[in-house]
Amino acid sequence: MSLSSRRLEPGPAFAVVVAAFGVTMIGTTLPTPLYGEYQARFDFSLTMVTVIFATYAVGVLAALLLTGRWSDAIGRRPMLLAGLALSAASDVVFLAADATWVLLAGRLVSGVSAGIYVGTATAAVLESAPERWRRRAPLVATAANIGGLGLGPLVAAVLITLGPWPMHLSFALHLAAAVLVGALLLRVPETVVVRPGARLSVARPEVPAQARTTFAGAAIAGFAGFSVLGLMTAVSPHFVLEAVPDAGAILSVSVVVVLFLASVAAQLLSRQVPLATAVNLGCALLALGTATLAVAIGVDSLPLMVVSAVLGGTGQGLSFSKGLASVLAKVEPAQRAGTTSAFFVVAYVAISLPVVGDGLASQRWGLVPAGVAFSLAVALLSVVALLTLVVDQRRAAA
């Protein structure tokens, strides 16, 4: 009997799918504390850091748009294995990185792996959950996603600080983890019925008619939340170094890590909070968090940056988890991957725009004015999202 034919029981299979989701997302943010060193070694500008980030976003969006519904046709497991293989491939690229174009290639491959996973793995987590975990499965999926994004910079920073081979160790260990999880994925049962003769085709992610109204409200809040993630991920390491010039690798990513962990904590603690309350409170906290970030940047205050990360991360976690769960509750199992991919298309457009805009603006007007301006712009966007949601809720109640 082959390894792949010895299928795991539901509990272990669920754990493996969650682990694969987390490992893949960790890999996407591992390079965060290394960009300063890459910039010094390869002598590129802050604008190129923006281009590198944008290349990742292009990879995510391309995968979402091209493969968003493939797992509905050929199964979750093949797509999970493909995404994990691409995550491992990005590790290999970064291990060999000796020029800026290699970094761009690595981030593109990493983006494609993330784009495959955010739709497919979210659906796979929901479907593979044992009965006792079924109600908590959406929370587990979003925690694996956002938690993995937050752990990536922390893991890399700790290894840079404490381990040998600072530019390579994190990628080598992640590669080993990806191989191990991939071997276990071969034993995970398929969770969808694969149609005989199903063919892969390019089809845009699609939201079923019965979920479109819910999707619209969730997407508005999600856009605001991921704009906050993108903005803080882009600007906080630079401003931490401005506030604390001798900050080490761990401190330089502290705001990013707090941001993502606050998001996960909000998701874990808000299970009983009603949907409308959660998304409204989330948008309000997003606005407050980014306004606080603008002040923190202006006065070079690391404590205020951390406060802004707690507020913004909590707001993002509330609005994101509740919004996505409400959408997926209204679609059929075979429609989950495509619908989730549509949601994340909105999210990753939002996460990339502030990064690109801030990088380009900083070249013309300076890092601090650009950071303050984009923080205030995202705060305004969050307020608009809140007002839109309140108006829609009142119309629905009328």
Computed from CA positions of residues 74, 77, 81, 86, in that sequence, does the dihedral angle turn out positive or negative?
A: positive
Q: Which residue has the tokens 């593109």?
A: 108
User: pLDDT at position 363, please?
Assistant: 75
Is residue 259 within 8 Å of 233, Cβ to Cβ? Answer: yes
Residue intervals of the chain classified under CATH 1.20.1250.20 are 1-190, 207-398
CA separation for the pair 252, 254 (Å, rounded):
6
User: pLDDT at position 187, please?
Assistant: 92
Is residue 67 within 8 Å of 116, Cβ to Cβ? Answer: yes
Helix (H, G, I), strand (E, B) or coil at 7: coil
Q: What is the pLDDT along the chain (398 residues), one digit of tens a residue?
A: 444 557 888 788 999 999 999 999 999 999 988 887 888 888 887 778 778 877 888 898 888 888 877 887 788 999 999 999 999 999 999 999 989 999 999 999 999 999 899 878 988 998 888 888 888 888 788 789 888 988 999 999 999 888 788 889 999 999 999 999 999 999 999 887 777 666 666 656 678 887 787 788 778 878 888 888 887 877 788 788 878 887 788 888 889 999 999 998 988 888 778 877 888 888 899 899 989 989 998 888 899 999 999 999 999 888 877 777 778 778 887 777 678 778 878 888 887 777 777 777 777 787 788 888 888 888 888 888 788 777 777 776 76
- Write phi, then psi, for 129 (nearest 5 degrees): -65, 130
- Write phi, then psi, for 266 (nearest 5 degrees): -60, -40
Q: Using N-to-C axis directions, what is the helix angle for 100-128 and 302-328, rounded to 10°?
A: 50
Amino acid at 291: A
Report DSSP state, residue 210: G
Closest residue by Cα to residue 185 from 1, 66, 23, 28: 23
Neighbours of 398 (CB within 10 A): 5
Helix (H, G, I), strand (E, B) or coil at 398: coil
- Write phi, then psi, for 269 (nearest 5 degrees): -95, 0
CA separation for the pair 261, 266 (Å, rounded):
9
- Sequence-distant (6+) residues with CB within 8 A of 114 are 24, 25, 28, 56, 59, 60, 63, 83
Is residue 225 within 8 Å of 324, Cβ to Cβ? Answer: no
CA separation for the pair 91, 144 (Å, rounded):
20
| CATH architecture entry for 1-190 | Up-down Bundle (1.20)
Q: Which residue has the tokens 């990879």?
A: 59
pTM of the predicted model as reported, rounded to 2 decimal places:
0.83
User: pLDDT at position 2, please?
Assistant: 47
Closest residue by Cα to residue 66 from 55, 76, 77, 58: 58
CA separation for the pair 216, 170 (Å, rounded):
39
CA separation for the pair 324, 322 (Å, rounded):
6
CA separation for the pair 56, 356 (Å, rounded):
12
Closest residue by Cα to residue 124 from 82, 69, 77: 77
Q: Which CATH class is domain 207-398?
A: mainly alpha
